[in-house]
Amino acid sequence: MIKRIKRIFSDSFSLLQGLAVTAKYLFSPAVTLQYPTQRWTPPERYRGRVALRPKKCISCQMCVRACPNYSLEVKFSLGEDKKRKLSGFIYHLDTCLFCGLCVEPCPTAAIFMNQEYELAVYERKELVMDLTEADKNVE
Amino acid sequence: MMFKISPENWAFLIEFAWLCAKAAGLLGFVSLSVMFLIWWERKVSAHIQSRLGPMRVGWHGCLQTIADTIKLLLKENIVAKDTDKVSFWLAPLVSFVAAFLPFAAIPFAKNLVVQDFGLGLLYIFAVSSLGVIGVFMAGWGSGNKYSLLGAMRASAQIISYEIPLVLSVLSIVMLTGSLNMTKIVEAQGQVWFAFSQPIAFLIYFISALAETNRAPFDISEAESELVAGFHTEYSGMKFSMFFLAEYTNMFVVSAIAATLFLGGWQGPFLPGIFWFLAKVYFLIFLMMWIRWTFPRFRVDQLMNFAWKFLVPLAFLNILATALFLVLKK
């Protein structure tokens, strides 16, 4: 009997402790962001979409081979000096799984993953992009 | 055809019009208060969960409820095929009317009461217990087994908790010797009954939480476990009537608690209505705080708690009060 009464008091006390916890949170600042007006800065090594530094690319196709989903196509032409000249870098965002495996084998660090995270579009064909156009000015 | 209106009839008509005006005023107050409470609850729950809650419509989302009400008003009126039409349509009305009627006897301030009944407390408990009929009508009328099960859970719960609720109030009635709300407030000039009858206050508050189907006693609608309980089949304006009834009920039980235990409109300096509303909204805040802190009871725990703990405790409290009164003589 005494044990039971003790239990009632200790349990009631724990209820008050619970209320104290939520009271603390009630007055602590919110952790969420008001999205379109407040934005989040992704960490440095965040894997957004695949991006290209067109001037550095030597069209070696290492990234195409590394890609598990065949999401990359490199188009090139042979110059007079038998060197490959990049003419198009097609990126299929719809099949990309953001694994970053294409970034690792690149011998010139031409391909990387940027910080973009708002990648939704209205039509599926907009997901296929030519990175020599889209990232024309990326150095 | 011409009517001749005799002086007595004029007096009656004027009185009737005056009563209608009072009712309309109260209805306006209740709807505004409910809108505020819904916004407030969303804000409290958001901040407890480290969120911000509604922020877009108006300053800190204060007009959000108005936008939601307009949305609910414009919604399609959906009635499922197997419903019992009469009870399905009447249920939200019965729920809301039962939640609204007690306002007639609640004193907002000195002399600010629609009708100062001699048996005010009895009237309030008699009328507010009609709400369970609305709940059951909703469950039965929906023609849906889950609604019916939810309604049975809700009615079992409401009827069970009515007993400790009324028993806890009984000790106050024994102390004051009156069922009149105004007299009960005036009896608390020196000490609030919350301090002289703390156990009764606790029992009342816990049972009131269960009466209004609020967490941690909200198994009848248990949003994270069931679909919605008795109002599964309701949408649009009929659903919002249930919502209105729920928040009106919260206001009513808090107003009764403020009147019976926290000294009603009495307080220093400021006008009575301010003190009354401050106490009521504090109690409602307490209910919200509890809702967003504690996990839900199981059905058996809920019933055990009412019958094996609250009812005996309430009886003991009445016994102690009676002994105190006898020894004082």
DSSP, residue by residue, B123-187 = HHHHHHTTHHHHHHHHHHHTT-HHHHHHHHHHHHHHHHHHHHHHHHHHHHHHHH----HHHHHHT
Between A6-10, A64-68, A79-83, B170-174, the lowest mean confidence (pLDDT) is in: A79-83
User: B294 vs A32: CB contact, 8 Å cut-off?
Assistant: no
Q: What is the maximum alpha-carbon separation in chain B?
A: 70
Collapsing DSSP states into helix, strand and coil, what is residue A87? strand
Average pLDDT (B74-83) is 88
Q: What's the gap in Å between the CA of B96 and the closest CA on chain A?
A: 31
Q: Identify from A5, A32, A37 which residue to disrupt to test chain B contact, counting B C-beta atoms within 10 A and taking the largest count.
A: A32
Q: Which residue has the tokens 């690792």?
A: A104
Cα maximum dimension of chain A:
99
Residue in A26, A33, A38 to test binding to B, most B beta-carbons within 10 Å: A26
Taking CA atoms, what residue in B is nearest to A19?
Answer: B293
What is the number of alpha carbons within 13 Å of residue A107 lying toward its C-beta?
5
Instruction: With CB atoms and an 8 Å threshold, state whether B44 touches A28.
Output: no
* Banded pLDDT at B310 (limits 50, 70, 90): very high
Query: For the residues A104-128, what does the mean pLDDT come to?
Result: 92
Hey, is the C-beta of A68 within 8 angstroms of any chain B C-beta? no
CB contact under 8 A, A30 and B55: no
Residues of A in Cβ contact (< 8 Å) with B289: 19, 22-23, 26
pLDDT at B254: 94
Per domain, the residue ranges of chain B are 26-74, 78-328
pLDDT class of B232 with cuts at 50, 70, 90: confident
Give a yes or no: residue A100 inside a domain.
yes
Q: What is the CATH number of the domain that holds A74?
A: 3.30.70.3270
Residue A117 inside a domain? The answer is: yes
The count of CB pairs under 8 A between chains A and B is 35
Give a yes or no: residue A109 inside a domain: yes
CB contact under 8 Å between A23 and B290, yes or no, is no
- The span from the CA of A90 to the CA of A70, in Å, is 11
Residue A139 burial (10 A CB sphere; 0-12, 13-18, 19+): exposed
The DSSP code for B109 is B
Model confidence band, residue B1 (pLDDT cutoffs 50, 70, 90): low
Residue A4 lies in a domain: no
Interface contact A2, partner B, CB < 8 A: no
Search chain A and give the residue with CA nearest B51: A30
Lowest mean pLDDT among A58-67, B10-19, B227-236: B227-236
Chain A residues whose beta carbon lies within 8 Å of the beta carbon of residue B292? 22
CA atoms within 13 A on the CB side of B289: 19
B→A contacts (Cβ < 8 Å), by residue, are 44, 46-52, 55, 289-290, 292-294
Contacts of A29 in chain B (CB under 8 A): 50
- pLDDT at position B71, please? 92
Residue B41: partners with Cβ closer than 8 Å, 6 or more residues away: B288, B291
Closest-CA residue of chain B to A32:
B51
Q: Residue B153 — pLDDT band, cuts 50, 70, 90?
A: confident
B37 vs B8 pLDDT, higher one: B37
Chain B hits for A21, Cβ within 8 Å:
293
Asked whether the beta carbons of residue B290 and residue A30 sit closer than 8 angstroms, the reply is no
Assigned domain for A29 exists: no
Kindly state whether residue A20 falls inside one of the protein's structural domains. no
DSSP tag of A59: -
The structure tokens 């609910």 sit at: B72
User: What is the C-alpha separation between B174 and B196, in angstroms, rounded?
Assistant: 13
- Contacts with A31 from chain B: Cβ below 8 Å: 50-51
Q: What is residue A114's three-state secondary structure?
A: coil
CA dist B224 and B218 (Å) reads: 10
- The mean pLDDT value for A49-73 works out to 92
pLDDT interval class at B144 (50, 70, 90) = confident
> Does A38 touch chain B if contact means CB atoms closer than 8 Å?
no
Q: What pLDDT does residue B98 have?
A: 92
Q: What pLDDT was estimated at residue B198? A: 92
Q: What is the mean pLDDT of chain B?
A: 89
To the nearest whole angstrom, how far is the Cα of B176 from the nearest Cα of chain A? 30
Confirm or reject contact between A9 and chain B (CB < 8 A): no
Q: How far apart are CA A118 and CA A39, in angstroms?
A: 11
Q: Which of B108-122, B165-179, B247-261 has the lowest mean pLDDT?
A: B108-122
**pLDDT given at position B298:** 85
Q: How high is the pLDDT of residue A97?
A: 93
CB atoms B293 and A30 under 8 Å: no
Q: Which secondary structure element, helix H or strand E, spans residue B202, and what is its range? A: helix B198-211
Tens digit of each residue's pLDDT (9 = 90 or more) over B233-290: 888 889 899 889 999 999 999 999 999 999 888 888 888 899 999 999 999 999 999 9
Q: Do B293 and A22 touch (CB under 8 A)?
A: yes
pLDDT digits (tens, 9 = 90+) for B175-211: 998 899 889 998 888 889 989 899 999 999 999 999 8
Q: Which of B40, B49, B199 to mutate to test the interface with A (most CBs of A within 10 A)?
A: B49
Question: Is there a contact between B236 and B75 (Cβ–Cβ < 8 Å)?
Answer: yes
Distance from CA of B60 to the nearest CA of A (A): 12
Q: With pLDDT > 70 as the criterion, what percentage of chain B qualifies?
A: 99
Which residues does chain B have within 8 Å of residue A33's beta carbon, measured at their own beta carbons?
A: none
The angle at the Cα of B30, spanning B245 to B35, to the nearest 5 degrees, equals: 80
pLDDT reported for residue A70: 93
- Residue A69: give the domain boundaries: 50-134
What's the structural domain count of chain A? 1
Task: Say what the ipTM of the complex is.
Answer: 0.79
Contacts of B40 in chain A (CB under 8 A): none
From chain B, the residues in CB contact with A22 under 8 A are: 48, 289, 292-293
Averaged pLDDT score across all residues of chain A: 91
Q: What is the pLDDT of residues A17-47, one digit of tens each?
A: 999 999 999 999 989 988 888 888 899 889 9
Q: Using a CB–CB cutoff of 8 Å, tell me whether A33 touches chain B.
A: no
Q: Residue B329: what pLDDT?
A: 82
- Domain contains A118: yes
